[in-house]
Amino acid sequence: RNVSGFSFSAAAGPLPDEVAADVAAACRAGRGSVLSLPFTSPAFRALQEETEACLRRLLAIPDRFRVLFLAGGASAQFALLPLNLLGTARQASYVDGGHWSRRAIAEARRYAEVSIAVQASGRIPDVGEWRVDPRAAYCHVTSNETADGLQFRELPVLPVPLVADMTSDLLMRPLDFARLSLVYAGAQKTIGTPGLTLVIVDERLLGRARPETPRVMDYAAQAAADSRLCTPPVFPIFVAHRMLHWIEARGGVAVMAEAARRRSDAVYAALAEGAGTYVMPVDRASRSHVNPCFRLADEAQTALCLQAAEAAGLHDLRGHPDVGGVRVSLYNGVADAAVDALVAFLRAFARRHG
Ligand code: PMP
C-alpha cells in the first residue's frame, strides 16, 4: 500500500492528519476504545446526538428531516429507495448522468417502472429539457457522477420529490432542502470511513415502505428507533463525528465548496494549458469540482501518464474501469500540498509529452 506521496483515490477520501491522529488515539484506549464502544451505552448515544447536531448545523437541515445512520453502503440504497418510497405508485423517474446513475437505475428497475427524465452525457441539459413523469413517486439524481466527472451544481425545483445520491459531494457544497426530499451518501469519501451510510429524509416521505421491506431497512422503523433498531456502524459514526467537527472548525461547507472550486480550477487550468496532451470529456459548465476526469490520446499515453504520476508520488489516479482515462479526486481531506504537486506534475508531463 502507498505509504508515501499522495492518494487521489475516488473510492475513499483521505482523513486529514489531525483527524486520523485523533481516531488512532481513540482506538488504542483500552477498555474505553471506540472499537468496542457498545451502541447501547450513554456514551454512544451522546456521540450519535453530537454527530447529528453537527451535521444539521453544517447543512442547515430543517427539523422536518430525519437523519438515519445506516449500514450497507450507498448501493444498498439503490434498492431501498424504491422499497421505501414508492408507496402506492409504480413509477419512478431517474436522471441518467453517468455510471452511478445507471447503477441506481438498474437496481430500481427491479421494483419500479423507471423512466429517464433526462440523459446527461458530458453535458447537463437545462431543467426545461427534463421530462419528469408526474406519476413518479420521486425523481432521482446523482449530484456528482464520481466516475464521469460531471456535477449537478444546481439542483432543480421539481414537481415530484427530489432524491439525491450525494456519495461523492455531501459536505462539499451547501444544500437547499426546499428542493430536496431525500439525500443519501456513503461516508467513505467526504465524511470519513466505509461502513456508514447517511440518509437525510423528509419525514413526510416516511411510512410508505412496501410490506416486504426488511424492518432494519425500513426508513420509518429506523427513524422511530433513532437508527438503533440494530447495531449501527459505531466506528464510522465516530470518524464522521470527528470529520464533521473538523469541517465546522474550518468554517463549514461554504468553505469546503470554495476550496473544491479553487482546487478543481487549478487542475482544470493545468489541463487546459496542456490541451495538446489532455482531452476533456465533460463540457466546461458541467465539470465536477470534486472529480476532474480527463483522457489522453490513447491507452499507451494514459499508461505513461499514470506511471509517471506514480513515480512522482501521485497515486490512485486511474479512471473508473468502465470509463477509462485519468481521474483526480479532491475530497475534503485531500491536502492542498497534494493538489499543488499534482498541478505541477500535469504541467511538466504536458511539456515533456505534448
Ligand atoms: N454512488 C456514488 C455517486 C458513488 O460514487 C459510489 C461509490 N463510488 C456509490 C454510489 C456506491 O457506494 P457504495 O460502494 O458505498 O455502495
DSSP 195-242: T-EEEEEEGGGTT---TTS-GGG-HHHHHHTTT-SS---HHHHHHHHH
Among 210, 228, 249, residue at a domain's last position: 249
The string of DSSP letters for 268-287 reads HHHHHHTTTT-B--S-GGGB
Is 341 a domain residue?
yes
Q: Of 133, 148, 169, 189, which one is the catalytic site residue?
A: 189
Residues 102 and 40 in one domain: yes
Check residue 354 and give its pLDDT.
74
Contact 232, 108 (CB under 8 A): no
Check residue 38 and give its pLDDT.
96
Q: What is the mean pLDDT of residues 304-325?
A: 96
Is 4 a domain residue?
no
- Please state the domain count of the chain: 2
Among 206, 230, 249, residue at a domain's last position: 249
- CATH at 258: 3.90.1150.10
Among 221, 249, 277, residue at a domain's last position: 249
> Which residues are CB-neighbours of 214 under 8 A, at least 6 positions away?
none
Task: Kindly report the pTM of this predicted structure.
Answer: 0.97
Residues 306 and 169 in one domain: no
To test the pocket of ligand 1, the residue of 167, 189, 190, 322 to mutate (highest count of ligand atoms within 8 Å of its CB) is 167
pLDDT category at 26 given cuts 50, 70, 90 is very high
Task: Give me the residues paired with residue 284 across strands.
Answer: none
- CATH at 136: 3.40.640.10
Number of helices and strands in the chain (H, E): 9, 13
Closest residue by CA, ligand 1 atom 6: 167
Residues 116 and 256 in one domain: no
Give the total residue count for the chain: 354
Residues 81 and 227 in one domain: yes
Angle between helix 17-28 and 234-249 (nearest 10): 140
Is 246 tagged catalytic? Answer: no
Q: What is the pLDDT of residues 206-237, one digit of tens each?
A: 999 999 999 999 999 999 999 999 999 999 99
Residues 178 and 293 in one domain: no
Residues 88 and 132 in one domain: yes
What value does the mean pLDDT of the chain take?
96
Contact 320, 240 (CB under 8 A): no
**Ligand 1 pocket member 9 (CB < 6 A):** no
Q: What percent of the chain has pLDDT over 90?
A: 95
Check residue 268 and give its pLDDT.
98
Residues 293 and 203 in one domain: no
CA 276, 278, 284, 290 dihedral sign is negative
Residues 236 and 274 in one domain: no
Q: What share of the chain is helix, strand, coil (3-state, %, to 5)?
A: 40, 15, 45
Domain of residue 32 covers 17-249
Cell of 134: 408526474
Give the CA count within 13 Å in the CB-facing half-sphere of 163: 27
